[in-house]
Amino acid sequence: MPRYTARLRVPADIGLALQQARLAQGRTQAELGEDLGVSQSTISAIEAGHSTILVRRILEMARETGLEFSASWEVPDASGD
């Protein structure tokens, strides 16, 4: 199973990593939203990198302190293994 890793520096990086992980699981935005109790449009906004003040502040704090965030996810092989 291939494993992907991404550095998270801006809200759009977080959204893209979440989107790629969701797609790797074969889930739709609507399915994920239903599982989390939020709307599909909320999932879409997060994946599009729309940020909140809190997310921006956390990322600013991380940059200022030298902290790096990363995300990793696995993508199933096409053979299903």
* Dihedral sign from CA coordinates of 27, 29, 31, 34: positive
Place of tokens 């609507």: 30
Specify burial of residue 14 (Cβ count, 10 A radius: 0-12, 13-18, 19+). buried
Q: What is the pLDDT of residue 79?
A: 67
19-66: pLDDT as tens digits: 999 999 999 999 999 999 999 999 999 999 887 788 889 999 999 999
- Tell me the C-alpha distance between 55 and 8, whole Å: 11
Higher-confidence position of 16 and 53: 16
80 pLDDT band (50/70/90 cuts)? low
- Name the token pair of 40: 């599909």
For position 54, what pLDDT does the model report? 86
pLDDT of 76: 83
Contacts of 7 (CB under 8 A, 6+ apart): 13, 68, 69, 70
CA distance 67 to 46: 22
